[in-house]
Amino acid sequence: MPKIRLMIVDDSILFRSWMVQNLGADPRFEVVGYAINAIDAKNKLPQLKPDIMTLDIEMPGMTGLDFLREVLPTNPIPIILVSSLNVRVFDALAAGAVDFVRKPDMNLEGGKQAFLQTLKSKLVVGANAKVRLPSPGAFAGSAASRGGAVSSVSSNARGGVGTPSASASSSETISSAPLRSPSSFGNVDLIAIGASTGGTEAILEVVRQFPAKMPGIVITQHMPPGFTAMYAERLNRICNLKVKEACHGDKVMPGQILLAPGGLQMRVVKMGTGFSVSCTEEAKVSGHKPSVDVLFDSVAANVKSRAIGIILTGMGADGAAGLLRMRKAGAYTIGQNRETCVVYGMPMEAYRAGAVCTQSALSSIPQVVMAQLAKS
C-alpha cells in the first residue's frame, strides 16, 4: 500500500523537528516536507502535493485559521489540527479541518507517546476523509452559527483534490431557522447522540435546528479534557436549547443538552421518576473516554424504548454495539448516511450490525427526529 504523503506545519522548530522525526519513522507515512508557518505552507503546498497535513493554529504572519479559509476552497486537503487548548480550534473545524489533537506536554514522555498514537490513527483515517467546506460568506462571526450551504468534498488520499459525491448533492443546505416545537414529547424522554471525527460540526448542524422545547439531550463527542467545556459554551451561544458540559449528578431536563466531559465516562442513570448523568473517571471503552458505547448502553438499560439514539460521523466502531442495544430495547435509532459523513466509520458499523432503524442525510436528521416525536 502506498505511504501516506504527509506535510507538517508548525512554527516551533523543536516541536516540528520532533514531529518530522517520529512520524517519518513510521512506515505508513512519508513526510514529504514541512513548513515553518502558514505562509510557507501555502507556497509549498502545490509542489509537495501531500495527502494530508498537520496544522498549528497560532502562528505569526498568517494563522492556521486564515490558512484554512484561504486555501481549502481551492485545495480541499484533509487537515488535522495540532493545537494547544484554544477555542479557535472550533472555528478551524468549521472552516474545514477534519479533526484535531491537543499538543502534548513535551516534558512528559507518556504524554508524548499517547499523543503520537492518537495523531497517527487520525492521520491514517483522515487521509481518506471528506473535507466539508462552508459556503462563501459563512465566516462572519462563528462560521457554523450561520445558515448556509456546506459542500461535502471527497479527498483523494493518493491523488490530491477529490470531487463531490455523485450520490449526494454537492451542497447541502442547512436551515438556520429552528423547527416548530412539538406539542408533546409523547413516549420519548431522552435523545442520545454520539460522534467522533467530523462530529463537532455535525452535532451543531443537528441541534441548532431543534426548538427550545425538546426532550433532554445527552451527547458524547470524542474530545480531550478542556475542549469539551469550550465546545459546550460554543453550542450554548448558537443553539436554542441550553447547553452545558455535564457534571456528575446533573439532571436530564427538557430543553437542555448535556455534553460528556473529556476524560470521563458519562452514563444516564435513573433518578426518581426521571434521569440524571454520572460522570466518572474510568478506563477507556472501545478505545475512548468518553465512549459513545458507554452512553448508549446506559440509555438502553435505563431509558429503554423511551429514547431516540443518533450516531454521527466518526472513525472506528464506538457506539455501534451500544446503538444496537438501544434498538433491541425498543428505542428509535438513526444513523448518518455515507454521503454526508466526514468519516463513514461509526455509522457504517452501526448500520452493518443492524443497529439503525433509518439512515439519513445530516441535514434531514432533525426532521426525522421531529417526525418521530410527533408519532410517539
The b/e string for 223-242 (b: 16+ C-beta within 10 A; e otherwise) is beeebbbbbbbbbbebbbbe
* 40 among known catalytic residues: no
Of the residues 91, 250, 293, 318, only one is catalytic, namely 318
**Which is nearest to 339 in space by CA: 364, 374, 302?**
364
* 288 among known catalytic residues: no
CB 268 within 8 A of CB 252: yes
Question: CA 308, CA 193: separation in Å to the nearest integer?
Answer: 9
Specify the DSSP class assigned to residue 340: G
Question: CA 43, CA 60: separation in Å to the nearest integer?
Answer: 15
Of the residues 151, 152, 196, 291, only one is catalytic, namely 196
Cα distances from 37 to residues 54, 273, 324, 349, in angstroms, run 12, 56, 46, 38
Of the residues 222, 291, 297, 298, only one is catalytic, namely 222
> Roughly what angle, to the nearest 10 degrees, separates helices 227-238 and 199-207?
30
* 248 among known catalytic residues: no
CB 203 within 8 A of CB 319: no
User: How many other CB atoms sit within 10 Å of the CB of residue 18?
Assistant: 17
The grid cell for 340 is 454526508
**Where in the sequence numbering do the catalytic residues fall?**
196, 222, 318
